Amino acid sequence: MKKIFLDTNILIDFVLGRDNGEAKRLLQFGCDKKVCLAASTLTFANMAYILRNKVDIYELFKFLSSFIEVLPIDGNHLELALERRVRDFEDMLQYQSAKSGQCNVIVTNNERDFAEFCTDLPYMNAQHILEEL
């Protein structure tokens, strides 16, 4: 089964309805167990900060973590991320988490930053992964 790592912006788009429903459709594939979805602990921390005054993050996180595998970010990920100076350090941490979590692809709406360093793990936006599924 394909294991898809969700960047923070995909989950924010889902919660805030900022896209054309791609994030919702992608999460439905995970709910239906047609794919394995993953996100990092950093994603949940970022979402807590961004969404803190907009939604009940506790209920949201209980729901999301019921069908999204939560991958860690640890000191090893930090060390690997520090080996290269990149434009978006947070994305590099996400990339390290996705790699160690054996994900097949990263789904992000920020392809430009991942293009800088993501050479051995495919990345694409939500629309493109939905076309593949």
Structure tokens given for 69: 């595998």
Strand partners, 123: 106
Q: Determine the pLDDT at residue 62.
A: 97
Q: Determine the pLDDT at residue 2.
A: 93
Q: Determine the pLDDT at residue 92.
A: 92
Residues of the chain with pLDDT under 70: none
Q: Determine the pLDDT at residue 71.
A: 98
pTM over 0.75: yes
Print the domain residue range for 88. Answer: 3-132
Work out how many domains the chain is built from and give that number.
1
CATH of the domain at 17: 3.40.50.1010
Helices 8-16, 22-31: axis angle to 10 degrees equals 100
